[in-house]
Homo-oligomer: A and B are copies of this chain.
Amino acid sequence: MEEIRIIEVKQSVFADNDEKAEELRQKLREKGCFLVNIMSSPGSGKTSILTRLIPALKDKYKIAVMEADIDSDVDARTIAEKTGVAAIQLHTGGMCHLDAAMTRQGLDEVGAEAFDLIFLENVGNLVCPAEFDTGASKNLVILSVPEGDDKPLKYPLMFEKADVVLLNKIDVLPYFDFDVDKFAGYLKIRNPRAELLPVSARSGEGLEHVVAWLDKAIEEWRK
């Protein structure tokens, strides 16, 4: 039987995506458009955090949001209604992640040149989106308290790819066996450079630190 070279196929797909992502990142830089790729499990609070963050940012930045989902337009509708910024829904047609080509299609649709800050809400999935560079300037990863403090051990790549990690739903810490110090330690093992910001999308606690992190990241990126 002929030898099957599975790995090479996978690598060439990834390599092709990396190249496309790098091109996109370059184009966005020329347009002065800072793209934040938001990744997490389903239900960790990507949309809720955005609806809280945007009002604190929209006087400073021209903002748009791209909501990726397998199906439904629940999230784009929520963002548009609650924040008033431009929001579009990307349907992935069953795909478990976004790649650079899919992201570029979304940016063309939204008209990236008209905005200086675009949030891309990736598909809710702690595995696959980490494997595909979207071309974003920064990766923001969210983990929520009910998911458990051991997740950096189990989903290493996602935490390795993060520039910043938001620990969401800290308002329910009393009701869960979640050890924040343990989580911080596991995160450090995977990624010593990722900042950890505890927040609550419900109460708004800690979100000022996310705003500060974004301001600083955009300032440095503009230099």
Q: Interface on A for B, CB 8 Å cutoff?
A: 4, 6, 9-14, 41-43, 69-72, 74, 94, 96, 123-128, 131, 144-148, 150-151, 153-157, 169, 172, 175-176
Give Cα A154–Cα B89 distance, bound, in whole angstroms.
12
Give Cα A14–Cα B10 distance, bound, in whole angstroms.
13
Contact residues in B for A172 (Cβ distance below 8 Å) = 146, 172, 175-176
In the complex, residue of chain B having the shortest beta-carbon distance to the beta carbon of A10: B6
Top-5 shortest CB links A-B: A43-B147, A146-B146, A96-B127, A72-B153, A43-B148
Give Cα A146–Cα B150 distance, bound, in whole angstroms.
17
**24 A-B interface contacts by CB (under 8 A):** A4-B14, A6-B10, A6-B11, A41-B41, A41-B42, A41-B124, A42-B147, A43-B147, A70-B155, A70-B156, A70-B157, A71-B153, A71-B154, A74-B153, A74-B154, A96-B125, A124-B154, A124-B155, A125-B126, A125-B127, A125-B128, A146-B146, A172-B172, A172-B176
Contact residues in B for A157 (Cβ distance below 8 Å) = 70, 94
Give Cα A10–Cα B4 distance, bound, in whole angstroms.
13
Q: Check A150 against B4 for contact (C-beta < 8 Å).
A: no
Contact residues in B for A9 (Cβ distance below 8 Å) = 13
